[in-house]
Amino acid sequence: AQTVTQSQPEMSVQEAETVTLSCTYDTSENNYYLFWYKQPPSRQMILVIRQEAYKQQNATENRFSVNFQKAAKSFSLKISDSQLGDTAMYFCAFMKLSTGTASKLTFGTGTRLQVTL
């Protein structure tokens, strides 16, 4: 079974600064996908970024980028120029591709990020 570990329960960053959230995972699969989701106080789950394991290039979405280290099974999220609206719970998630059934998404326990003035 796949496991996803987020070792930082809470983090804080000042507005306009950069912060990195850590995520490691355990799998014997070679082909999979990794995701970061954001859950603001509204509790709506919002996709932040997606990484395909077969792609060496790190995914980037505006101020959000990842550092994907496949051999180390590490998938960290970097938020640049942090904004107050980035305050949320951030979840790292792993998806193993399945044939014949839906692909399961396994989540870490989350990192609560507080952006301060």
Partner 1 sequence: DGGITQSPKYLFRKEGQNVTLSCEQNLNHDAMYWYRQDPGQGLRLIYYSQIVNDFQKGDIAEGYSVSREKKESFPLTVTSAQKNPTAFYLCASSISGGAPLHFGNGTRLTVT
Binding site for partner 1 (CB under 8 A): 9, 33, 35, 42-45, 47, 50, 52, 91, 95, 97-110
Residue 104's contacts (CB-CB under 8 Å, 6 or more residues apart) are: 95, 96, 98
Cα angle for residues 65, 67, 73 (degrees, 5° grid): 140
Least CB distance to partner 1 at residue 61 (A): 12
Nearest approach in angstroms of CB 15 to partner 1 is 27
Q: Indicate the residue among 71 and 102 with the shorter CB distance to partner 1.
A: 102
- In the bound complex, what is the minimum distance in angstroms from residue 26's beta carbon to partner 1? 15
Closer residue to partner 1, CB minimum distance, 29 or 81: 29
| CA nearest neighbour of 88 among 108, 59, 110 | 110
Spatial neighbors of 77 by CB under 8 A, at least 6 apart, are: 20, 21, 23, 36, 48, 49, 64, 65, 66, 90, 92
> How far apart are alpha carbons 86 and 54 in whole angstroms?
29
**Residue 28: CB minimum distance to partner 1, A:** 18
